[in-house]
């Protein structure tokens, strides 16, 4: 890489999974209208990660670092993850009332539970990629920049952008350290609905206090596979390598897509012809949280929040 001027906040190594048979991705606007484009023209902005030295020279080390240290290792890891490595099925039966609740949320319930095996190398790569995906989106950067514009003495736009990007790297490390100790829950789609991707990126609650971070992060990895990051409030799960795998039908994927749509700023991306009416209805609208963490008992709780339906 020489001196890249077009910076992809949604790397092509991932967005290529949203291409159809013609190699194009659908982009849908808030009014439901849509178009198609190549991955190289999706999720990209000019000079997005360019900092400036004290002499005013451009500093492109962040974009180069993203490419070399985050994206390059994850390319192999994503190809590995989509194969559902080491898929294991163990006999397991939920209580009757939990079965009914899980089905009402669109989860496929069978008489076994599934898990996949992820070696340390790919687990670490996944964690770094998710941490970067959180902080590198234009919407997230705009929020950091607004903070500095309101709370700093800098008046020069280049100085504000530079300190914004420095802060982005700090927040990357905050998320990286927490995600490294977290567990992952994978979800595979079953049925016609696919995972969408939003130009708002992934948007967890901000970690502006000490202690375990109060977030869960839903990340669509492909239209067929998503992962949720669940921080551990009680210990370090960095040595864990077997992770639960759930399956969601069309209804379940729609519920998860509502969370993805809630972060949308201008565009939502899809591989198939977009569900325009669904996107228009939920574009930028806060979504109910059906996946909750029981901090006291250190377990994941999936329940229906009827007040938010």
* Coarse DSSP helix, strand, coil percentages of the chain, rounded to the nearest 5 percent: 40, 20, 40
**Residue 255 near residue 106, CB atoms below 8 Å:** yes
pLDDT of residue 41: 95
Identify whether 133 is part of a domain. Answer: yes
Q: Which range is least confidently modeled, 14-18, 29-33, 192-196, 204-208?
A: 204-208
More confident residue, 242 or 5: 242
- Whole-angstrom distance, CA of residue 212 vs CA of residue 298: 12
For residue 11, what is the enclosing H or E element?
A: none
Percent of the chain with pLDDT over 90: 60
Residue 21 buriedness (CB in 10 A; 0-12 / 13-18 / 19+) = exposed
pLDDT of residue 298: 44
| pLDDT (tens digit per residue) in 100-135 | 888 888 899 999 999 999 999 999 999 999 999 999
Dihedral, CA atoms, 216, 217, 218, 220, nearest 10 degrees?
-160
pLDDT of residue 283: 97
Best mean pLDDT range from 18-32, 38-52, 189-203: 18-32
Question: Number of folded domains in the chain?
Answer: 1
Identify whether 1 is part of a domain. Answer: no
User: Is pLDDT of 306 > 80?
Assistant: no
Identify whether 26 is part of a domain. Answer: yes
Any bridge partners for residue 185, and if so which?
228
Helix axes of 120-135 and 72-81: crossing angle, nearest 10 degrees: 110
pLDDT of residue 208: 46
- Whole-angstrom distance, CA of residue 17 vs CA of residue 220: 11
Identify whether 151 is part of a domain. Answer: yes
| pLDDT (tens digit per residue) in 29-55 | 999 999 999 999 999 998 899 998 877
Identify whether 152 is part of a domain. Answer: yes
| pLDDT (tens digit per residue) in 277-298 | 999 999 999 887 665 555 444 4
Identify whether 220 is part of a domain. Answer: yes
32: left (phi over 0), alpha (psi -120 to 50) or beta: left
For residue 293, what is the enclosing H or E element?
A: strand 291-294
- Whole-angstrom distance, CA of residue 30 vs CA of residue 285: 11
pLDDT of residue 289: 67
| pLDDT (tens digit per residue) in 153-181 | 666 888 888 999 999 999 999 899 989 98
Helix extents (H) in the chain: 12-15, 61-65, 72-81, 96-104, 120-135, 138-151, 157-180, 250-261, 276-282
The structure's pTM equals 0.89
The residue-averaged pLDDT of 249-274 equals 94
Domain boundaries, position 156: 6-308
Identify whether 103 is part of a domain. Answer: yes
**Residue 68 near residue 11, CB atoms below 8 Å:** no
| pLDDT (tens digit per residue) in 205-237 | 655 445 555 567 899 999 999 999 987 766 788
């Amino acid at each position: 890489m020489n001196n890249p001027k077009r910076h992809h906040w949604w790397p092509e190594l991932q967005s290529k999974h949203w291409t159809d048979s013609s190699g194009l991705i659908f982009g849908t606007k808030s009014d439901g209208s849509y178009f198609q484009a190549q991955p190289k023209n999706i999720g990209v902005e000019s000079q997005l990660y360019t900092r400036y030295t004290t002499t005013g020279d451009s500093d492109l080390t962040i974009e180069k670092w993203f490419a070399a240290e985050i994206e390059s290792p994850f390319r192999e890891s994503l190809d590995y993850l989509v194969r559902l490595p080491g898929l294991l099925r163990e006999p397991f039966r939920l209580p009757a009332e939990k079965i009914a609740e899980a089905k009402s949320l669109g989860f496929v319930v069978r008489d076994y539970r599934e898990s996949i095996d992820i070696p340390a190398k790919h687990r670490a790569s996944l964690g770094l990629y998710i941490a970067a995906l959180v902080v590198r989106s234009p919407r997230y950067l705009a929020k950091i920049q607004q903070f500095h514009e309101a709370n700093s003495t800098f008046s020069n736009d280049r100085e504000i952008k530079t300190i914004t990007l420095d802060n982005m790297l700090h927040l990357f490390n905050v998320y990286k350290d927490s995600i490294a100790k977290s567990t992952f829950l994978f979800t595979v789609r079953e049925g016609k609905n696919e995972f969408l991707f939003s130009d708002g990126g992934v948007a967890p609650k901000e970690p502006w206090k000490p202690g375990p971070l109060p977030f869960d992060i839903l990340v669509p990895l492909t239209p067929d596979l998503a992962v949720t990051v669940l921080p551990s409030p009680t210990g370090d799960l960095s040595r864990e390598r077997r992770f639960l795998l759930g399956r969601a039908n069309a209804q379940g994927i729609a519920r998860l897509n509502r969370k993805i749509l809630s972060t949308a700023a201008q565009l939502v991306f899809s591989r198939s012809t977009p569900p325009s009416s669904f996107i228009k209805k939920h574009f930028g609208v806060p979504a109910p949280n059906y996946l909750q963490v029981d901090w006291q008992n250190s377990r994941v709780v999936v329940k229906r929040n009827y007040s938010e339906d």
